[in-house]
Amino acid sequence: MSNPSRKAYQGKVNNKEKTMAKLLSAVGKVLEKKGYTGLTPTNIAKVANVDRKLIKLYFGSVDNLIETYIRSKDYWLLSSDNISHTLENEPPNGTQDILENLLLDQLNNFLVNNEMQKAVTWQISEKSAIMSEITRKREEISKLFFEKADKELPPHVDIRAISSILVSGIYYLVLHSKHTESTVCEIELDENGFERIRAAIKQIITWAYSK
């Protein structure tokens, strides 16, 4: 015999999940079309086609909603489990392989992730508690990698500084290619240009790990 109360409960849960998914999707759409300044409760609720009161009901605040969205899209946060697993399995070339794969994947992901391009632009152009928290969590992930790399590299190789230049360079070059129609160091930022950049990333990491 069916239980009417159970069906009603499941329906309520399903509606909540659907509404939360709509709101998260709406954050991405607003971010892509209007930028970070457009991330208001009114704009998000309008795109999601739901009552704006549901933002507070399901997420506590619009800031929590935005942070949840960014965390679901951020390459480094999404890679955290994979980084830990790879470190435990110790690939043939150790952290050299890990760093190379992470940076190349970051480049490939960022090239096609329009929402994260907007989010990173927000991060570097406006002081934001949300993006500061996301950045702090990214740093927690990198700590695992650097502790392992320190055991493989001589003290004079500053792998943290090298990695910071490469990570920030990837962000800049991709954003430059999306917003500015000009070369960088005489490199066209098209498919061929980014192939050259990928090769350069590999070369720099090889130099860093050369004994």
159-168: per-residue pLDDT in tens?
999 999 999 9
35-74: per-residue pLDDT in tens?
888 999 999 999 999 999 999 999 999 999 998 998 888 8
Residue the block writes with tokens 């230049």: 165
d(CA 20, CA 31): 17
Question: Domains of the chain: which residue ranges?
Answer: 4-62, 74-209
Residue 11 pLDDT greater than 70, yes or no = no
Which residues are bridge partners to 142 per DSSP?
A: none
Q: Where on the phi/psi map is residue 60: left (φ > 0), alpha (ψ -120 to 50), or beta?
A: left
Q: What is the pLDDT of residue 145?
A: 87
Q: Which of 7-11, 100-104, 125-129, 203-207 has the lowest mean pLDDT?
A: 7-11
The mean predicted confidence, pLDDT, of the chain is: 87
Note the pTM of the prediction, 2 decimals: 0.80
Alpha helices of the chain — where are they, by DSSP H?
Answer: 4-34, 41-48, 53-59, 62-73, 75-78, 80-89, 95-112, 114-125, 129-150, 159-179, 191-209
* DSSP single-letter state for residue 181: -
Q: What is the pLDDT of residue 134?
A: 80
Superfamily grouping for domain 4-62: Homeodomain-like (1.10.10.60)
Mean pLDDT of 185-204: 97
